[in-house]
Chains A and B, each alone.
Chain A
Amino acid sequence: MDERDSFEERLRQARAREGLEKPPKGGPAPHNPWGYGLRAGVEVVSALVVGIGLGFLLDRWLGTWPWLFLVFFVLGSLAGVLNVYRLFSPRPRASSE
């Protein structure tokens, strides 16, 4: 067992020397501009869909068309902006807690 442990250690050192061990990456942030654009778009659209959908359903239920729809449209837009902001701001990593 001891021999195997030291083997792992030596292997890691050798791999680091040869530049095979890549530093761990964090977060799902894509690396090319298209990826960024696509992800930001998806975040905004989905938040808007949820906001508008919720507004529609609540209005149909409570009979307050179009007021809740308008309110949730704004909330959905804000949530979309918030999601895009979160996409670009660095997240707290589990290891740092």
Chain B
Amino acid sequence: MAAEGKTIDALGQFELSPVGGVFGWAVSFSQSNLFMVFAVVLTFLLMKATADRGALVPGRLQALGESAYEFIAGMVRDQVGDEGKKYFPFVFSIFMFVLFGNMLGMLPYAFTFTSHIAVTLTLALIVWVAVTAIAIKRHGLRFFTYFFPEGAPLWLAPIIVPVEIVSYLARPVSLSIRLFANMVAGHVMVKVFATFVVLLGGFGVLGWVGAIAPLALNVALIGLKFLVAFLQAYVFAILTSIYLHDAVHLH
């Protein structure tokens, strides 16, 4: 598929196509949606296995679920404080969804739903709207003092307030672009170098020797992509926690 017609088709992997036959066509159920369902089901099964067993000395699956739980619980506690505990389920759901989205995309033939800006922007907007709603609920109209830092001279307000508002509005954009760009860049690079391997392989023995370099690079890239897949889920979750901190404490 990579080298069809001897050209480099790096973006074809992001195309959506309906799955599930007639049903898929009828409700536009694409492979992206399918992998979202996989992510949710796998998260559910993992946490169910963790909670069902409840052994004092955890097995491997339970240890995995517990470390994921404690990782996010610690993050929320460190960043938001004790008031953040009730927002833990929200941050944890976001983290697991993004993590499974990134990690499922690493499987061959799988689809990375976090490589679509529509998906990441929706996630980021959910976070942004929720955080803003929490801030307004907790502080009422005092929320709007967030846009003017205490102690700044008043005559600077016409500059500071619009800048702060634009900066606040830029949050969902930067949050979504970071995740989306990282996932797309990784997959495009792997696809391009994989195509080099196939094209060079067509030139006989000399090509096979030449194909070693892109193949070795791809092995390293796959390792890097696993790191990025985890790191971007981590960054998404910790930025959500930081925004929650701002919402709970203001400044």
Q: Which residues of A pack against B, CB within 8 Å?
A: 24, 26-28, 30, 38-39, 42-43, 45-47, 49-51, 54, 72, 75-76, 78-80, 82-83, 91, 93-95, 97
Contact = CB atoms under 8 A, between A and B. Distances in A.
- Is the contact region of chain A dominated by helix, strand, or loop, or is it mixed? helix
Nearest to B234: A28
Contacts of A72: 162, 166
B174 A83 contact: yes
Contact of A46 (B74, B159, B163, B173): B173
Interface of B: 74, 77-81, 84, 159, 162-164, 166-167, 169-170, 173-174, 177-178, 181-182, 231, 234-235, 238-239, 242, 245, 249
Contacts of A79: 163-164, 166-167, 170
**Interface pairs A-B: 7 shortest CB-CB:** A94-B81, A46-B174, A46-B173, A79-B167, A79-B166, A47-B170, A50-B170
- Is the contact region of chain B dominated by helix, strand, or loop, or is it mixed? helix
B78 A93 contact: yes
**Central interface residue in A46, A51, A83, A95, by most chain B CB within 10 Å:** A46
Given A51-B166, A75-B166, A82-B167, A94 B245 contact: yes
Contacts of A27: 238, 242
15 contacts: A27-B242, A28-B238, A38-B182, A46-B173, A46-B174, A47-B166, A49-B173, A50-B166, A72-B162, A75-B162, A76-B170, A83-B167, A91-B242, A94-B245, A97-B81
Given A28-B235, A83-B174, A94-B245, A42 B181 contact: yes
Contacts, number: 79
Given A28-B238, A54-B169, A79-B167, A94 B80 contact: yes
A31 B235 CA distance: 13
Contacts of A38: 178, 182
A36 to B, nearest CB: 13
Contacts of B169: 50, 54
B167 A45 contact: no
Given A54-B169, A83-B174, A95 B162 contact: no
B81 A42 contact: no
A86 to B, nearest CB: 8
A80 B238 CA distance: 20
Contacts of B181: 42
Nearest to A25: B78
B174 A78 contact: no
Nearest to A96: B81
B78 A95 contact: yes
B81 A47 contact: no
Contacts of A80: 170
